[in-house]
Chain A
Amino acid sequence: MDSEQIDYQSLNYLSTVDHNLCCPICRSPLVDPVYTTCLHTFCSTCINKALERSQTCPVDRTPLQAEDVSPAPIMIANLVNELAVLCPNSELGCTFTCARYLVEAHLSHDCEFVYMKCRECGDKVLRRDAGRECLHQLEECTHCFQHIKKIDMEAHEKECPGLLGECMHCRLEIERSELKEHEFTCEEATISCSSSSLGCPWSGQRKELSHHQAACPFTFLRPVLQAHAERLTKLELENRTLRKRIEQLTPRINQSNTTEPLSFDEQAYQFLTEQEHMRQDMERLSATLGELEIKQGMLLMNESLRTKEELAGIRAAINGIRMQIHWLLTVRVHGTEHRHVVGGGAGTPSNSAGPSHPAEHSASRRLSDNFGQGVKL
Chain B
Amino acid sequence: MSSGSLRRITKELTELNENPPSGVTACPISDSDLYKWNVTLTAPKGSLYYGGVFHLNLTLPSEYPFKPPTLNFTTKIYHPNVSNDDKGSMCLGILRAENWKPSCKILAVLEMARGLLLEPNVDDAVETNIADQYKNDRAGFEKTVKQWIKNHAKEK
Contacts and interface: CB of A to CB of B under 8 A. Distances in A.
Contacts of A53: 63, 66-67
Contacts of B99: 61
Contact of B102 (A9, A28, A50): A50
A27 B8 contact: yes
Given A50-B66, A53-B67, A58 B11 contact: no
B63 to A, nearest CB: 7
A27 B11 contact: yes
Interface in A171-219: none
Interface in A11-54: 24-28, 46, 49-50, 53-54
A10 B7 CA distance: 8
Contacts of A26: 4, 7-8
Contacts of A294: none
The majority secondary structure among interface residues of chain A is loop
A49 B66 contact: yes
Interface string B121-146: 00000000000000000000000000
Interface in B1-34: 1, 3-4, 7-8, 11-12
B88 interface: no
Contacts of A24: 102-103
Nearest to A22: B11
Interface in A54-78: 54, 56-61
Nearest to A52: B66
Interface residues of B, number: 16
Interface size, A (range): 10 to 19
Nearest to A61: B101
Given A49-B1, A53-B63, A53-B67, A25 B102 contact: yes
A60 B63 CA distance: 19
A5 to B, nearest CB: 13
Nearest to A43: B4
B80 interface: no
Given A49-B1, A58-B103, A25 B67 contact: no
B7 A58 contact: no
Interface in B53-74: 63, 65-67
A161 to B, nearest CB: 35
Nearest to A57: B101
B103 A25 contact: yes
A58 B101 contact: yes
Contacts of B12: 27
B41 to A, nearest CB: 24
Contacts of B101: 56-61
Nearest to A47: B102
Contacts of B4: 9, 26, 46, 49
A127 to B, nearest CB: 26
Interface string B28-60: 000000000000000000000000000000000
Nearest to B5: A26
B103 A59 contact: yes
Contacts of B65: 25
A58 B8 contact: no
Interface in B70-107: 99, 101-103, 105
Nearest to A7: B3
A43 to B, nearest CB: 10
B16 to A, nearest CB: 12
B1 to A, nearest CB: 7
Nearest to A26: B8
A115 to B, nearest CB: 21
B1 A28 contact: no
Contacts of B63: 53
Contacts of A9: 4, 7
A17 B38 CA distance: 29
Contacts of A28: 7-8, 11
A10 B5 CA distance: 12
A373 B90 CA distance: 118
A54 B11 CA distance: 24
15 contacts: A10-B3, A24-B102, A24-B103, A25-B8, A25-B65, A26-B4, A27-B8, A28-B8, A28-B11, A49-B4, A50-B102, A53-B67, A58-B101, A59-B101, A61-B101
Interface of B: 1, 3-4, 7-8, 11-12, 63, 65-67, 99, 101-103, 105
Given A27-B12, A28-B7, 16 more contacts: A10-B3, A24-B103, A25-B8, A25-B102, A27-B11, A27-B105, A28-B8, A46-B102, A49-B66, A53-B63, A53-B66, A53-B67, A57-B101, A58-B102, A58-B103, A60-B101
| 6 interchain residue pairs of minimum CB distance | A24-B103, A58-B102, A59-B103, A27-B11, A25-B102, A53-B66
